């Protein structure tokens, strides 16, 4: 009897163990014969993961791939196409989550499916009306929908007892940036050279700063809203310091400023008097007052004349998009077409990691609207000096590509997630709402909502907050399972 019990407990190990044995044999053999073939075989074997593991595991793997793929390519360990592997993993995880036999749809997952599907239909309709390369509507849908695919896979197939594992993964992806960032700052210098694991990424310095500050929000939320011992709070405070240092070393001003707003929202959201909240407000306020006094770029954030002049880049880009929409009035509703304005797909032809792919794999061109906006940006010193003042942003790209319907659908998806997080009063739910606010603000600054290295961890943090809600984690069995 005891032997049978042990066999049952360890039966789940057979599938992953068999997978890794086969993977090791295939990888070892093909590395000797042909390294590129080895990576194609690995990609094929990864495609079988949804058959062996739960959908939320595959979704988490997509997040890990997005975080580390640039590093593997930069070190020459993996070919360039690994940077795109998170796309099929995210799609597969959500697809198998929808088909998962032992869980039923709740209101949140149904709305996510509807929203993501509607974005796909809108992308196709907009492309049919405007034309362009076939890849553009597909990639546009993938970039805007990917965080919601990750959310869907995790909340539908995971349970509340997995929160600790997911939390360790999310925070671990932030803490692993610390040695990379500090080594880069010490050896390569400050600013853009500090990129963490996002090596050779044009926005790597900002992304690593955002990853670190999302973890800071989580640690601060747990310090304020959970009842923990003083020793635990002290450890969290010590952990915050190196994480907060990363965006400072990377000179990630836009991330720091949006973090300030998100942190202020976090402290305001509880609306209850607690000594911890007052201490946290005093400490965070002192940090930012001191940083603004010593760090000149933050002083510019309150120089309203400078800020208004810089916003001219975004305003000029918006005016150009409007002028082109007037040539075809339905474009106000469905947009100029995927990749036809300032979305990341519109700029993909300039992306270095896209150029690194073998010739002919991804062949995208710049549209006339995109060229016009880029010309205005490059002709003005202030606009071209920082992505903050350029004519590029995710919200403008979403409006330009998919029109008012695109804005409405994406905003509705965010509102669905927001309402789900608002139903819980756990620290994870509070931090999830603050992190959502941070992402929305960053999307107005640059193409953050189309940057998987940011949006996938962003979705992971929010999914943990949603799992901490009893309405979504209560087991829901199919009728056949109740018999």
Task: Quick: pLDDT tens for 306-319.
Answer: 677 777 788 888 88
So what's the pLDDT on residue 114? Answer: 93
Q: Is the pTM of this model over 0.85?
A: no
Confidence bin at 362 (pLDDT 50/70/90): low
Confidence bin at 276 (pLDDT 50/70/90): low
**Contact by Cβ (8 Å): 473, 465:** no
Q: What is the DSSP string of 224-263?
A: HHS---HHHHHHHHHHHHHHHHHHHHTT-HHHHHHHHHHH
Average pLDDT over residues 328-353: 81
The distance from CA 89 to its chain's CA centroid, rounded to whole angstroms, is 14
So what's the pLDDT on residue 112? Answer: 92
Query: 242 or 9: whose pLDDT is higher?
Result: 242
Summary mean pLDDT of the chain: 78
Highest mean pLDDT among 129-143, 333-347, 369-383, 444-458: 444-458
How many residues are recorded in the chain? 483
Tell me how far CA of residue 259 lies from CA of 93, 211, 266, in angstroms.
30, 11, 10
Confidence bin at 141 (pLDDT 50/70/90): very high
| Summary count for the chain: helices (H), strands (E) | 26, 0
Distance CA(54)–CA(153), nearest Å, equals: 9
Instruction: Identify the weakest region by mean pLDDT among 22-26, 322-326, 454-458.
Output: 22-26
**Would you say residue 272 has pLDDT above 80?**
no
Among the listed residues 138, 93, 78, the one whose alpha carbon sits nearest the alpha carbon of residue 362: 138
**Would you say residue 77 has pLDDT above 60?**
yes
Average pLDDT over residues 421-441: 88
So what's the pLDDT on residue 354? Answer: 54
Half-sphere exposure for 108 (CA within 13 Å, toward CB) = 28
Q: What is the DSSP string of 244-312?
A: HHHHHHTT-HHHHHHHHHHHHHHHHHH-S--HHHHHHHHHHHHHHHHHHHH-HHHHHTT-HHHHHHHTH
* pLDDT tens readout for residues 86-125: 888 898 888 888 887 766 667 888 899 999 999 999 999 9
Query: 257 or 53: whose pLDDT is higher?
Result: 257
**Would you say residue 302 has pLDDT above 80?**
no
Among the listed residues 34, 27, 354, the one whose alpha carbon sits nearest the alpha carbon of residue 201: 354
So what's the pLDDT on residue 234? Answer: 58
**Would you say residue 71 has pLDDT above 70?**
yes
So what's the pLDDT on residue 24? Answer: 53
**For the purposes of burial, counting CB atoms within 10 Å of the CB of 176, is it exposed (0-12), middle (13-18) or buried (19 or more)?**
middle
So what's the pLDDT on residue 18? Answer: 55
Q: What is the largest CA-CA distance in the chain?
A: 78
**Would you say residue 22 has pLDDT above 60?**
no
**Would you say residue 134 has pLDDT above 60?**
yes
Average pLDDT over residues 366-388: 79
Which residues, in sequence order, are CB contacts of 420 under 8 Å at separation 6+? 108, 466, 469, 472
Query: 125 or 374: whose pLDDT is higher?
Result: 125
Average pLDDT over residues 124-148: 89
Among the listed residues 154, 89, 229, the one whose alpha carbon sits nearest the alpha carbon of residue 428: 154
Token pair listed for 179: 């040695």
Average pLDDT over residues 231-240: 64
So what's the pLDDT on residue 442? Answer: 93
Confidence bin at 299 (pLDDT 50/70/90): low
Share above pLDDT 90 across residues of the chain, in percent, rounded to a whole number = 23
Instruction: Identify the weakest region by mean pLDDT among 66-70, 205-209, 353-357, 473-477.
Output: 473-477
So what's the pLDDT on residue 483? Answer: 36
* pLDDT tens readout for residues 391-419: 888 999 999 999 999 999 999 999 999 99
**Would you say residue 365 has pLDDT above 70?**
yes
* pLDDT tens readout for residues 164-210: 889 899 999 999 999 999 999 889 888 888 888 998 887 888 999 99
Helix (H, G, I), strand (E, B) or coil at 444: helix
**Would you say residue 472 has pLDDT above 70?**
no
**Would you say residue 273 has pLDDT above 80?**
no
Distance CA(249)–CA(204), nearest Å, equals: 12
**Contact by Cβ (8 Å): 58, 89:** yes
So what's the pLDDT on residue 227? Answer: 64
């Amino acid at each position: 009897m005891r032997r049978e019990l042990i066999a049952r407990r360890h039966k789940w190990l057979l599938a992953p163990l068999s997978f890794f044995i086969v993977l090791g044999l295939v990888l070892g053999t093909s590395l000797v014969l042909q390294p590129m073939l080895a990576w194609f075989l690995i990609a094929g074997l990864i495609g079988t993961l949804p058959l062996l593991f739960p959908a939320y595991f595959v979704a988490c793997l997509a997040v890990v791939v997005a975080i580390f793929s640039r590093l593997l390519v930069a070190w020459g360990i993996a070919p360039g196409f690994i940077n795109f592997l998170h796309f099929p993993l995210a799609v597969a995880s959500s697809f198998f989550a929808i088909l998962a036999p032992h869980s039923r749809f709740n209101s949140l997952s149904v709305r996510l499916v509807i929203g993501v599907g509607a974005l796909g239909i809108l992308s196709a309709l907009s492309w049919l009306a405007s034309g362009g390369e076939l890849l553009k509507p597909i990639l546009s849908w993938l970039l805007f929908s990917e965080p919601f695919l990750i959310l869907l896979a995790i909340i539908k197939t995971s349970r509340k007892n997995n929160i600790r594992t997911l939390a360790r993964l999310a925070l671990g992806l932030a803490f692993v940036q610390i040695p990379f960032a500090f080594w880069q700052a010490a050896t390569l210098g400050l600013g853009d050279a500090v990129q963490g694991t996002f090596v050779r990424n044009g926005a790597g310095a900002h992304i690593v700063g955002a990853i670190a500050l999302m973890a800071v929000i989580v640690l601060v939320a747990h310090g304020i809203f959970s009842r923990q011992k003083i020793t635990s709070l002290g450890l969290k405070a010590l952990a915050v310091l190196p994480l907060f240092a990363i965006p400072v070393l990377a000179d990630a001003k836009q991330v720091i400023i949006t973090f300030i707003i998100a942190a202020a929202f976090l402290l305001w959201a509880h609306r209850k008097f607690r000594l911890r909240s007052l201490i946290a407000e005093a400490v965070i306020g002192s940090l930012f007052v001191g940083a603004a006094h010593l760090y000149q770029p933050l002083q510019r954030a309150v120089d309203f004349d400078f800020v208004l002049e810089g916003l001219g880049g975004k305003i000029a880009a918006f005016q150009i998009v409007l002028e082109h929409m007037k040539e075809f009035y339905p474009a106000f509703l469905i947009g100029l077409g995927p990749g036809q304005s300032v979305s990341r797909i519109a700029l993909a032809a300039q992306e270095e990691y896209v150029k690194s792919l073998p010739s002919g794999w991804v062949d995208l061109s710049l549209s006339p609207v995109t060229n016009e906006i880029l010309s205005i940006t490059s002709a003005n010193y202030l606009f071209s000096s920082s992505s903050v003042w350029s004519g590029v942003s995710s919200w403008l790209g979403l409006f330009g590509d998919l029109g008012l319907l695109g804005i409405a659908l994406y905003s509705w998806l965010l509102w669905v997630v927001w309402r789900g997080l608002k139903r819980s009063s756990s620290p994870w739910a509070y931090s999830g709402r603050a992190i959502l606010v941070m992402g929305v603000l960053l999307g107005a600054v640059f193409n953050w909502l189309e940057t998987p290295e940011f949006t996938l961890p962003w979705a992971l943090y929010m999914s943990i907050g949603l799992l901490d809600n009893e309405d979504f984690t209560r087991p829901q069995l199919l009728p056949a399972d109740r018999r």
